[in-house]
Amino acid sequence: MGRTLAEKVWEQHVVRRAEGEPDLLYIDLHLIHEVTSPQAFDGLRMAGRPIRRPELTIATEDHNVPTVLGPISDPVSRTQVETLRKNCAEFGVRLHPMGDAGQGVVHIIGPQFGLTQPGMTIVCGDSHTSTHGAFGGIAFGIGTSEVEHVLATQTLPAYRPKTMAIEVSGELPAGVTAKDLILAIIAKIGTGGGQGYIVEYRGEAIRKLSMEGRMTVCNMSIEAGARAGMIAPDETTFEYLKGRPHAPVGEDWDAAVEYWRSLSSDEDAVFDTVVEIDASALTPFVTWGTNPGQGAPLGSVVPAPEDTDDPAATTRALEYMGLTAGTPLREVAVDTVFVGSCTNGRIEDLRAAAEVLRGRQVVTRTLIVPGSMLVKLQAEQEGLHEVFKAAGAEWREAGCSMCLGMNPDTLSPGERSASTSNRNFEGRQGKGGRTHLVSPQVAAATAVTGKLTAPADLA
Amino acid sequence: MEAFTVHTGRAVPLRRSNVDTDQIIPAVWLKQVSRTGFEKGLFSAWREDPGFVLNDPAYAGASILVAGPDFGTGSSREHAVWALQQYGFRAVIAPRFADIFRNNSTKMGLLPVVLPAATVEALQAAAEADPTLEITVDLAERQVRWAGETAGFEIDDYTRWRLMEGLDDIGLTLRNADAIATYENGRQPWLPTTV
């Protein structure tokens, strides 16, 4: 019987297999940031253990960093960042600190450097590590105990998850993006639909996505409960990788590409579950509730609790969100728009937002936050920052920003955002804040009208 | 890790689905660099509501949380496990758990117990009817017992053994240092390094 992509990559990384025990899996790349690592480094110190492979480890500062120039004013955030610097210096880990040209959100910089490659195992103390699966590797988020385990051993004990194929047929219509697709998938299978699975996204619509679109899709696999999402590598993948600083060169490149071409699910491979989606039927998608599965087409209305699978949760969500069932989603007014994050903070996202904002004015507080300093540099070389500033939006430094309420970019109680980030949980963007997850295009159009809007709605 | 064999305690019914880790411990609490003090942040936004179940004095000192499906979704923050443990919880019972939360729990000795939704609801109703009700979570027998009722739960042998022995994964893995070194010698030469 043939094997799935996930099975091929997994088997390639099994260090030890024993009956009745989890596999011991080798980890090719370990990404680190300031929030989930300090207690792991403390653990190493207490046990007198070194990092086994510091050269397979890279660190950045992202969650706590302010996106305006200047030092971190919150002393607790500052201590956390300083702790990372001290730990990286002591243990010999490459770090991209605030102000460094390579600094940025951890899941943006790995692919940019060419460190994220097909067939690899990649972990990070961050659930959105699933992003890296877009290159055809197995990438998943871990907790701090596991961060310490990887630092000490470069391995993780784990049971191989089941496999799920999400077959996306057809083509995405104009104006419908990778973000709309993944929001629609999560709404279809639910926040627990992917639990226990590695998802492989397949089909015509996936093949036609750019690498950045594929990263957006894989990024939010965790929002469907899946530990990891992956997409088989192809010419789009190789094209993206070639020439990046850590991509193989010369004969190594040829050998790598030959191997990478073997990384797809065999024709006769059997997935434990198959889900089918017709991309051509999709329209811009937004969330109305307090989990990423509570979403609907922008052209629809806020649902009534009795029309949903979990009426009690819907009632709670509508109360928190201050929404009334039956209200057209296009009539929902927002006061803040956020374009950025590991989901939608890459150059194509900024280009898409700029295209909508060119020659228009925003009526909301609008934060445009590049996912990394390299994205920022490229956007400025393309003049996108001038478009944003002319429209009245704020052009910021790189960081996680308003995705998660750990740095100065937050919503105040009762404020409502259209956000290109990944989570609409209660208080996620700041205590009492209300979040609607959207694509960069919808975010930008919403900034122009002050209500949830698609670019096609603009005159 | 604290070993877990059998624990008897009172239960808090949390009748909510999709309790994400941002609710269990909001991000503002994650800035600490130590492993202690997270109990103050546990459900800190929800605890501002006087009607929230953890504010009910009848449930003070309870050590088993009985929650709705998809508990622990979202962020990988292990701080959620630390907050629950430091507040005094030894086990969480729910119909479904998010994968990363469940994994983090078993690394720390907080027992995640999966029971069918109807059984979880019966437990919640029992704890609501009588907050002094004692519930026994028995990892050795893979059972939850209360008021003459018994419900079995599944957990793989290896994780159960590790929890019952209170074993640290790193120590176990380092017994296989030779296998790791052998694997490393066979890695593909083009794989990237960060230097």
Locus of tokens 């709404």: A187
What's the pLDDT at A137?
98
Q: Which of residues 124-183 of B touch A (CB under 8 A)?
A: 156-158, 169-170, 172-174, 176-177, 179-180, 183
B145: buried, middle or exposed (CB in 10 Å: 19+, 13-18, 0-12)? middle
Domain map (residue ranges) of chain B: 6-185
Chain A residues with beta carbon closer than 8 angstroms to that of B16: 313, 316
- The answer, for B40 touching chain A at a CB cutoff of 8 Å, is no
Mean pLDDT, rounded, of chain A = 98
B156-191 exposure pattern, b = at least 16 Cβ within 10 A, e = fewer: eebbbebbeeeebbbebbbebeebbeebeeeeeebb
- The answer, for A33 touching chain B at a CB cutoff of 8 Å, is no
CB contact under 8 A, A143 and B34: no
Length of chain B: 195
Residues 6+ apart with CB under 8 A from A351: A379, A382, A384
Question: Is A403 annotated to bind ligand?
Answer: yes
Residue A16 β-bridge partners? A24
**CA distance, residue B148 to nearest chain A CA (Å):** 30
- The answer, for A126 touching chain B at a CB cutoff of 8 Å, is yes
What's the pLDDT at A459?
76
SS (HEC) of A351-401: HHHHHHHCCCCCCCEEEECCCEHHHHHHHHHCCHHHHHHHHCCEECCCCCH
Which amino acid belongs to residue A46?
M
CB contact under 8 A, A36 and B74: no
**Of A342, A106, A303, which Cα lies nearest the Cα of A221?**
A342
Residue A96 β-bridge partners? A60
Q: What angle do CA A327, A411, A123 make, to 5 degrees?
A: 100
What's the pLDDT at B168?
84
What's the pLDDT at A269?
98
Average of pLDDT values for B137-155? 98
Is a pLDDT exceeding 90 seen at residue A91? yes
The helix/strand/coil state of B55 is helix
CB contact under 8 A, B170 and A406: no
Q: Which of residues 319-378 of A touch B (CB under 8 A)?
A: none
Locus of tokens 């290159």: A135
Average of pLDDT values for A182-211? 98
What's the pLDDT at A331?
98
Segment holding A238, helix H or strand E:
helix A235-241
Confidence band (pLDDT; 50, 70, 90) for A21? very high
State the complex-level ipTM.
0.96
CB contact under 8 A, B98 and A76: no
Chain B residues with beta carbon closer than 8 angstroms to that of A426: 22-23, 45
What's the pLDDT at A347?
98
Please give the CATH architecture assigned to the domain spanning B6-185: Alpha-Beta Barrel (3.20)
Is a pLDDT exceeding 90 seen at residue B2? no
Nearest-by-CA chain B residue for A225: B98
The structural domains of chain A, ordered by start, are 5-260 (3.30.499.10), 285-457 (3.30.499.10)
Residue A164 β-bridge partners? A199, A273
- The answer, for B29 touching chain A at a CB cutoff of 8 Å, is no
CB contact under 8 A, B180 and A149: no
**Of B195, B25, B64, which Cα lies nearest the Cα of A143?**
B25
Is a pLDDT exceeding 80 seen at residue A138? yes
Tokens coding A297:
């087409």
Edge-to-edge strand list for the sheet holding A23-26: A14-16, A23-26, A155-158
